[in-house]
Structure 1
Amino acid sequence: MPQITVDYSEQLADGFDRRGFALALHPLLADVAGAAPEACKTRFVRTEECVVGDGAGSDGIVHVMIGLLAGRSAETKARVTEGALELVRQYVKPADGLRLHASAEIRDLDASYRKSAEA
């Protein structure tokens, strides 16, 4: 825990420092939400196609979904998502003419959540 999934448009791939983003997000989660940095796991999912509005523009999408164990306040969750959006702005440099749509959310992990790490 935390489980982080970052969906992003294919056309943003070259301008997205994914590793840098993850390495900046993990300490943010530790500082704001009390997560252990070594427990943070981030995976990136490239989306081949996306459509925004009527599809007429050149748009790229980044959506950050963070799964945390229940118990964080709404204020803490908001601070994390605002921080995640600031990191998106720092680590995603869209190509000229490409408009970036960024969003972030936190969901509470279900009580059934379990993890295992083996060598």
Structure 2
Amino acid sequence: MNNIAIPFQTIDWRNIPKTQHKGETGVAYWQTIQFDGLRVRYVEYTKNYKADHWCKKGHIVYCLKGEVINELEDGTQSVLKEGMSYIVSDDLSSHRSITKNGVHLLIIDGNFLNSDI
């Protein structure tokens, strides 16, 4: 894995543009900061959001507000509540997010989660 040099910086998420991503139901709003091999996102899923795909990408996820149901392709579910995290490497699960009342998450992913490294 190549190390990247990120100088010290603060991020005011209020100044980061939002992009909209429709789910099977509901909407996800992403605010993204991209570095070489590293992506940091503030993500808000609206009420009754259900992802429209199974994700195989690795993530480090921290729940800032609300709660989200994490569903694995085999039907297993877990609930992530405020103050909780989950972590998974690339290609080690097929997962999707579902909300009842919405959630705010900090999601970090990148090359360092590649399970082939």
TM-score by length of 2: 0.27
Relative to its length, the structure with more helix (as a share) is 1
Q: Which has the larger radius of gyration?
A: 1
Report the structure, 1 or 2, having the larger strand content: 2
TM-score between the two structures when normalised by the length of structure 1: 0.27
State the structure with bigger RCO (CA 8 A, min sep 6), 1 or 2: 1
